[in-house]
Amino acid sequence: MKRKLPRVIALLAVAAGAAAAWWYDVPARLGWTRADDARLTLYGNVDIRQVQLGFRVGGRIAEMLVDEGDRVKAGQDMARLDAQPYQDALEAAEAQVASQKANLAKLEAGPREAEIAQARALLAERSFDRTNAEQALERARRLRATGAVSEAAFDQAQAARDMAAARVESAQEALHLLEEGSRKEDIAAARASLQEAEANLAGARTSLEDTVLHAPADGVVLSRVREPGAIVSPGDTAYVLSLDDPVWVRTYVEEPDLGRVFPGLDVEVITDTAPDKPYRGRVGFVSPVAEFTPKSVETPELRTDLVYRLRVVVEQPDTGLRQGMPVSVRLPEDAGTATSAVD
Protein backbone atom coordinates (compact mmCIF):
# COMPACT_ATOMS: atom_id res chain seq x y z
CA MET A 1 0.00 0.00 0.00
CA LYS A 2 2.84 2.36 0.85
CA ARG A 3 4.47 1.57 -2.55
CA LYS A 4 1.32 2.63 -4.48
CA LEU A 5 0.96 5.96 -2.66
CA PRO A 6 3.74 7.81 -4.59
CA ARG A 7 2.18 6.70 -7.92
CA VAL A 8 -1.23 8.00 -6.89
CA ILE A 9 0.31 11.29 -5.80
CA ALA A 10 2.16 11.57 -9.12
CA LEU A 11 -1.01 10.88 -11.13
CA LEU A 12 -2.93 13.44 -9.13
CA ALA A 13 -0.18 16.00 -9.75
CA VAL A 14 -0.27 15.34 -13.52
CA ALA A 15 -4.08 15.61 -13.56
CA ALA A 16 -3.98 18.85 -11.61
CA GLY A 17 -1.42 20.29 -14.02
CA ALA A 18 -3.52 19.30 -17.04
CA ALA A 19 -6.64 20.82 -15.46
CA ALA A 20 -4.75 24.01 -14.72
CA ALA A 21 -3.47 24.20 -18.29
CA TRP A 22 -6.97 23.60 -19.68
CA TRP A 23 -8.44 26.25 -17.39
CA TYR A 24 -5.73 28.73 -18.31
CA ASP A 25 -6.41 28.18 -22.00
CA VAL A 26 -10.21 28.72 -21.77
CA PRO A 27 -10.10 32.47 -22.45
CA ALA A 28 -7.87 31.95 -25.49
CA ARG A 29 -10.09 29.22 -26.94
CA LEU A 30 -13.22 31.29 -26.39
CA GLY A 31 -11.73 34.46 -27.86
CA TRP A 32 -11.40 36.34 -24.59
CA THR A 33 -8.39 38.50 -23.81
CA ARG A 34 -6.53 38.23 -20.54
CA ALA A 35 -5.50 41.16 -18.42
CA ASP A 36 -1.89 40.94 -19.58
CA ASP A 37 -2.95 41.06 -23.27
CA ALA A 38 -5.46 43.94 -23.38
CA ARG A 39 -5.32 44.56 -27.14
CA LEU A 40 -8.01 42.57 -28.92
CA THR A 41 -7.25 41.44 -32.46
CA LEU A 42 -9.99 40.63 -34.97
CA TYR A 43 -9.68 39.00 -38.38
CA GLY A 44 -11.45 39.91 -41.58
CA ASN A 45 -11.18 40.77 -45.26
CA VAL A 46 -10.89 43.94 -47.32
CA ASP A 47 -14.12 44.99 -49.01
CA ILE A 48 -13.79 47.49 -51.87
CA ARG A 49 -16.83 48.95 -53.59
CA GLN A 50 -17.35 48.25 -57.25
CA VAL A 51 -19.71 50.03 -59.63
CA GLN A 52 -21.06 49.00 -63.01
CA LEU A 53 -21.04 51.96 -65.38
CA GLY A 54 -23.36 52.45 -68.34
CA PHE A 55 -24.96 55.18 -70.43
CA ARG A 56 -28.30 56.71 -69.41
CA VAL A 57 -29.24 56.81 -73.10
CA GLY A 58 -29.00 54.22 -75.83
CA GLY A 59 -27.10 54.32 -79.09
CA ARG A 60 -24.01 53.17 -80.92
CA ILE A 61 -20.69 53.32 -79.08
CA ALA A 62 -18.24 55.56 -80.90
CA GLU A 63 -15.25 55.39 -78.54
CA MET A 64 -14.04 53.38 -75.54
CA LEU A 65 -11.35 55.60 -74.05
CA VAL A 66 -9.89 53.44 -71.24
CA ASP A 67 -8.99 49.79 -70.84
CA GLU A 68 -8.81 47.21 -68.06
CA GLY A 69 -6.28 48.14 -65.39
CA ASP A 70 -6.30 51.84 -66.21
CA ARG A 71 -6.66 54.31 -63.37
CA VAL A 72 -9.28 57.01 -63.83
CA LYS A 73 -10.07 60.23 -62.02
CA ALA A 74 -13.51 61.50 -61.04
CA GLY A 75 -15.16 63.17 -64.03
CA GLN A 76 -12.78 61.67 -66.59
CA ASP A 77 -14.31 60.70 -69.95
CA MET A 78 -14.43 56.92 -70.31
CA ALA A 79 -16.60 56.31 -73.40
CA ARG A 80 -18.70 58.15 -75.98
CA LEU A 81 -21.77 57.34 -78.04
CA ASP A 82 -22.52 58.56 -81.55
CA ALA A 83 -24.04 61.94 -80.64
CA GLN A 84 -25.47 62.95 -84.03
CA PRO A 85 -29.07 61.75 -83.36
CA TYR A 86 -29.11 63.63 -80.06
CA GLN A 87 -27.61 66.74 -81.69
CA ASP A 88 -30.41 66.69 -84.27
CA ALA A 89 -33.01 66.32 -81.52
CA LEU A 90 -31.47 69.28 -79.69
CA GLU A 91 -31.68 71.50 -82.76
CA ALA A 92 -35.33 70.54 -83.29
CA ALA A 93 -36.10 71.38 -79.65
CA GLU A 94 -34.37 74.75 -80.00
CA ALA A 95 -36.49 75.55 -83.08
CA GLN A 96 -39.67 74.59 -81.21
CA VAL A 97 -38.77 76.93 -78.35
CA ALA A 98 -38.16 79.79 -80.79
CA SER A 99 -41.55 79.17 -82.42
CA GLN A 100 -43.38 79.17 -79.09
CA LYS A 101 -41.61 82.32 -77.96
CA ALA A 102 -42.67 84.12 -81.14
CA ASN A 103 -46.27 82.98 -80.73
CA LEU A 104 -46.37 84.19 -77.11
CA ALA A 105 -44.86 87.55 -78.05
CA LYS A 106 -47.50 87.92 -80.78
CA LEU A 107 -50.35 87.26 -78.36
CA GLU A 108 -48.93 89.56 -75.69
CA ALA A 109 -48.44 92.41 -78.19
CA GLY A 110 -51.97 92.07 -79.53
CA PRO A 111 -53.15 93.22 -82.99
CA ARG A 112 -51.22 95.82 -84.94
CA GLU A 113 -52.59 99.32 -85.58
CA ALA A 114 -52.81 98.52 -89.28
CA GLU A 115 -55.07 95.54 -88.55
CA ILE A 116 -57.35 97.70 -86.42
CA ALA A 117 -57.45 100.38 -89.15
CA GLN A 118 -58.30 97.72 -91.71
CA ALA A 119 -61.16 96.46 -89.54
CA ARG A 120 -62.52 100.00 -89.17
CA ALA A 121 -62.40 100.54 -92.91
CA LEU A 122 -64.26 97.27 -93.49
CA LEU A 123 -66.92 98.35 -90.98
CA ALA A 124 -67.37 101.64 -92.78
CA GLU A 125 -67.68 99.85 -96.13
CA ARG A 126 -70.29 97.46 -94.75
CA SER A 127 -72.17 100.41 -93.22
CA PHE A 128 -72.38 102.11 -96.65
CA ASP A 129 -73.67 98.88 -98.17
CA ARG A 130 -76.33 98.68 -95.48
CA THR A 131 -77.37 102.31 -96.15
CA ASN A 132 -77.71 101.62 -99.89
CA ALA A 133 -79.70 98.47 -99.19
CA GLU A 134 -82.06 100.38 -96.89
CA GLN A 135 -82.60 103.07 -99.52
CA ALA A 136 -83.27 100.46 -102.22
CA LEU A 137 -85.78 98.75 -99.92
CA GLU A 138 -87.57 102.07 -99.27
CA ARG A 139 -87.87 102.78 -103.02
CA ALA A 140 -89.20 99.29 -103.66
CA ARG A 141 -91.78 99.80 -100.90
CA ARG A 142 -93.05 103.04 -102.52
CA LEU A 143 -93.12 101.56 -106.02
CA ARG A 144 -94.83 98.48 -104.79
CA ALA A 145 -97.80 100.57 -103.72
CA THR A 146 -98.20 101.74 -107.33
CA GLY A 147 -97.65 98.27 -108.73
CA ALA A 148 -94.41 99.25 -110.51
CA VAL A 149 -92.38 96.67 -108.49
CA SER A 150 -93.34 93.06 -108.20
CA GLU A 151 -93.64 91.21 -104.92
CA ALA A 152 -90.53 89.18 -105.73
CA ALA A 153 -88.42 92.29 -106.37
CA PHE A 154 -89.56 93.74 -103.05
CA ASP A 155 -88.60 90.57 -101.22
CA GLN A 156 -85.15 90.64 -102.81
CA ALA A 157 -84.59 94.24 -101.73
CA GLN A 158 -85.61 93.36 -98.17
CA ALA A 159 -83.26 90.35 -98.11
CA ALA A 160 -80.39 92.48 -99.41
CA ARG A 161 -81.00 95.00 -96.62
CA ASP A 162 -80.97 92.23 -93.99
CA MET A 163 -77.72 90.73 -95.31
CA ALA A 164 -76.05 94.14 -95.35
CA ALA A 165 -77.09 94.71 -91.74
CA ALA A 166 -75.65 91.30 -90.75
CA ARG A 167 -72.36 92.13 -92.45
CA VAL A 168 -72.18 95.41 -90.54
CA GLU A 169 -72.72 93.59 -87.24
CA SER A 170 -70.03 91.04 -88.09
CA ALA A 171 -67.51 93.77 -88.97
CA GLN A 172 -68.38 95.61 -85.75
CA GLU A 173 -67.69 92.52 -83.61
CA ALA A 174 -64.40 91.85 -85.42
CA LEU A 175 -63.29 95.41 -84.68
CA HIS A 176 -64.19 94.99 -81.01
CA LEU A 177 -62.09 91.80 -80.76
CA LEU A 178 -59.08 93.54 -82.27
CA GLU A 179 -59.44 96.53 -79.97
CA GLU A 180 -59.69 94.32 -76.87
CA GLY A 181 -56.49 92.47 -77.79
CA SER A 182 -55.59 88.82 -77.07
CA ARG A 183 -57.55 86.82 -74.52
CA LYS A 184 -55.73 86.10 -71.26
CA GLU A 185 -56.59 82.41 -71.66
CA ASP A 186 -54.79 82.34 -75.03
CA ILE A 187 -51.75 84.01 -73.50
CA ALA A 188 -51.71 81.50 -70.62
CA ALA A 189 -51.95 78.60 -73.07
CA ALA A 190 -49.08 80.05 -75.11
CA ARG A 191 -46.95 80.37 -71.97
CA ALA A 192 -47.65 76.75 -71.05
CA SER A 193 -46.69 75.63 -74.56
CA LEU A 194 -43.45 77.59 -74.27
CA GLN A 195 -42.65 75.95 -70.91
CA GLU A 196 -43.26 72.53 -72.42
CA ALA A 197 -40.96 73.33 -75.32
CA GLU A 198 -38.26 74.59 -72.92
CA ALA A 199 -38.55 71.38 -70.86
CA ASN A 200 -38.12 69.34 -74.04
CA LEU A 201 -35.07 71.43 -74.87
CA ALA A 202 -33.56 70.80 -71.43
CA GLY A 203 -34.19 67.07 -71.85
CA ALA A 204 -32.53 67.11 -75.27
CA ARG A 205 -29.47 68.84 -73.81
CA THR A 206 -29.27 66.32 -70.97
CA SER A 207 -29.54 63.42 -73.42
CA LEU A 208 -26.74 64.91 -75.51
CA GLU A 209 -24.54 65.26 -72.41
CA ASP A 210 -25.32 61.65 -71.45
CA THR A 211 -23.69 60.41 -74.65
CA VAL A 212 -20.38 60.82 -72.76
CA LEU A 213 -19.71 58.38 -69.90
CA HIS A 214 -17.80 59.95 -67.01
CA ALA A 215 -16.01 58.28 -64.10
CA PRO A 216 -18.05 58.85 -60.93
CA ALA A 217 -14.97 58.69 -58.68
CA ASP A 218 -11.29 57.77 -58.64
CA GLY A 219 -10.69 54.09 -59.24
CA VAL A 220 -9.31 51.28 -61.37
CA VAL A 221 -11.07 49.76 -64.39
CA LEU A 222 -11.72 46.10 -63.65
CA SER A 223 -13.62 45.14 -66.81
CA ARG A 224 -14.22 46.60 -70.25
CA VAL A 225 -17.50 45.02 -71.29
CA ARG A 226 -18.27 46.75 -74.62
CA GLU A 227 -16.38 47.75 -77.74
CA PRO A 228 -16.81 50.58 -80.31
CA GLY A 229 -19.63 49.90 -82.74
CA ALA A 230 -21.79 48.02 -80.26
CA ILE A 231 -25.40 49.11 -79.87
CA VAL A 232 -26.31 49.56 -76.21
CA SER A 233 -29.55 50.25 -74.41
CA PRO A 234 -29.85 52.59 -71.44
CA GLY A 235 -28.27 51.01 -68.38
CA ASP A 236 -26.21 48.37 -70.24
CA THR A 237 -22.85 47.86 -68.51
CA ALA A 238 -19.87 49.28 -70.38
CA TYR A 239 -17.24 49.21 -67.61
CA VAL A 240 -16.82 47.79 -64.11
CA LEU A 241 -14.92 50.21 -61.87
CA SER A 242 -13.26 49.49 -58.52
CA LEU A 243 -13.44 52.63 -56.36
CA ASP A 244 -10.38 53.86 -54.45
CA ASP A 245 -12.52 55.18 -51.63
CA PRO A 246 -14.18 54.05 -49.45
CA VAL A 247 -12.27 50.90 -48.51
CA TRP A 248 -13.81 48.76 -45.79
CA VAL A 249 -12.78 45.80 -43.72
CA ARG A 250 -15.48 43.26 -42.97
CA THR A 251 -14.68 41.57 -39.68
CA TYR A 252 -16.49 39.89 -36.79
CA VAL A 253 -16.40 40.09 -33.01
CA GLU A 254 -17.60 37.53 -30.49
CA GLU A 255 -20.28 38.32 -27.94
CA PRO A 256 -17.90 38.46 -24.92
CA ASP A 257 -15.94 41.25 -26.65
CA LEU A 258 -18.95 43.09 -28.11
CA GLY A 259 -18.84 45.73 -25.37
CA ARG A 260 -15.31 46.71 -26.40
CA VAL A 261 -16.36 47.75 -29.92
CA PHE A 262 -18.54 50.74 -30.86
CA PRO A 263 -19.02 53.02 -33.90
CA GLY A 264 -16.31 55.64 -34.11
CA LEU A 265 -13.65 53.54 -32.38
CA ASP A 266 -10.18 54.09 -33.87
CA VAL A 267 -8.39 50.85 -34.78
CA GLU A 268 -5.35 49.62 -36.69
CA VAL A 269 -5.62 47.52 -39.85
CA ILE A 270 -2.63 45.25 -40.39
CA THR A 271 -1.73 43.33 -43.54
CA ASP A 272 0.53 40.32 -43.87
CA THR A 273 2.57 42.16 -46.49
CA ALA A 274 3.53 45.09 -44.28
CA PRO A 275 2.70 44.25 -40.64
CA ASP A 276 4.95 47.07 -39.41
CA LYS A 277 2.96 49.70 -41.35
CA PRO A 278 -0.61 49.51 -40.10
CA TYR A 279 -3.42 51.52 -41.64
CA ARG A 280 -5.62 53.75 -39.54
CA GLY A 281 -9.27 52.80 -39.48
CA ARG A 282 -12.49 53.54 -37.68
CA VAL A 283 -15.40 51.30 -36.79
CA GLY A 284 -18.35 52.51 -38.82
CA PHE A 285 -20.98 49.86 -38.20
CA VAL A 286 -21.74 47.18 -35.62
CA SER A 287 -24.45 44.73 -36.62
CA PRO A 288 -27.31 44.43 -34.12
CA VAL A 289 -27.93 40.84 -35.25
CA ALA A 290 -25.81 37.83 -34.30
CA GLU A 291 -24.80 35.29 -36.93
CA PHE A 292 -22.63 32.22 -37.30
CA THR A 293 -18.99 32.81 -38.09
CA PRO A 294 -18.64 32.76 -41.91
CA LYS A 295 -16.19 30.29 -43.39
CA SER A 296 -14.14 33.06 -45.00
CA VAL A 297 -13.07 34.42 -41.61
CA GLU A 298 -9.75 32.99 -40.44
CA THR A 299 -10.01 32.76 -36.64
CA PRO A 300 -9.00 30.14 -34.12
CA GLU A 301 -12.53 30.06 -32.63
CA LEU A 302 -15.06 27.39 -33.38
CA ARG A 303 -17.13 27.86 -36.54
CA THR A 304 -20.37 27.43 -34.62
CA ASP A 305 -19.71 30.45 -32.37
CA LEU A 306 -22.09 33.36 -32.81
CA VAL A 307 -20.44 36.63 -33.81
CA TYR A 308 -21.41 40.19 -34.73
CA ARG A 309 -20.37 41.74 -38.02
CA LEU A 310 -18.30 44.94 -38.03
CA ARG A 311 -17.46 47.36 -40.80
CA VAL A 312 -14.18 49.21 -40.38
CA VAL A 313 -13.61 52.17 -42.69
CA VAL A 314 -9.94 52.53 -43.64
CA GLU A 315 -8.59 56.07 -43.64
CA GLN A 316 -6.27 57.07 -46.51
CA PRO A 317 -6.21 53.67 -48.23
CA ASP A 318 -3.74 52.91 -51.00
CA THR A 319 -3.02 50.18 -53.53
CA GLY A 320 -1.68 47.95 -50.76
CA LEU A 321 -5.26 46.96 -49.91
CA ARG A 322 -6.93 44.65 -52.42
CA GLN A 323 -10.41 43.23 -52.66
CA GLY A 324 -10.78 40.14 -50.43
CA MET A 325 -7.34 40.48 -48.83
CA PRO A 326 -7.21 38.97 -45.31
CA VAL A 327 -6.23 41.52 -42.69
CA SER A 328 -6.08 41.87 -38.90
CA VAL A 329 -7.90 44.59 -37.02
CA ARG A 330 -6.25 45.54 -33.74
CA LEU A 331 -8.21 47.47 -31.15
CA PRO A 332 -6.56 50.01 -28.82
CA GLU A 333 -5.60 48.98 -25.32
CA ASP A 334 -8.22 51.18 -23.69
CA ALA A 335 -11.14 49.70 -25.71
CA GLY A 336 -12.87 48.22 -22.63
CA THR A 337 -11.99 44.94 -20.93
CA ALA A 338 -13.21 41.45 -21.63
CA THR A 339 -15.12 39.55 -18.96
CA SER A 340 -15.60 35.84 -18.51
CA ALA A 341 -18.96 34.20 -18.07
CA VAL A 342 -17.37 31.46 -15.92
CA ASP A 343 -17.94 31.94 -12.18
Q: Which amino acid is at 293?
A: T
pLDDT for residue 38:
60
Q: Which amino acid is at 317?
A: P
> Has residue 21 been placed in a domain?
no
Task: Return mean pLDDT, the chain.
Answer: 81
Q: Encode pLDDT of 275-285 as tens digits.
A: 888 999 999 88
Residues 124 and 178 in one domain: yes
**Segments forming the whole domain that contains residue 283:** 28-49+246-330
Q: Encode pLDDT of 55-107 as tens digits.
A: 999 999 999 999 999 999 999 999 999 999 999 999 999 999 999 999 998 88
Q: Is the pLDDT of residue 231 over 90?
A: yes
Domain CATH for 311: 2.40.30.170
Residues 233 and 213 in one domain: yes
pTM: 0.61
**265 contacts: CB under 8 Å, gap ≥ 6:** 282, 283, 331, 332, 335
User: From the centroid of its chain, how far is CA 52?
Assistant: 14
CB 313 within 8 A of CB 250: no
Higher pLDDT residue, 121 or 292? 121
Split at pLDDT 50, 70, 90, the class of 32 is very low
Which range (23-37, 79-93, 293-307) has the least confidence? 23-37
Residues 223 and 199 in one domain: no
Residues 321 and 173 in one domain: no
Q: Please count the structural domains in the chain.
A: 3
pLDDT for residue 300:
52
Residues 107 and 200 in one domain: yes
Higher pLDDT residue, 3 or 174? 174
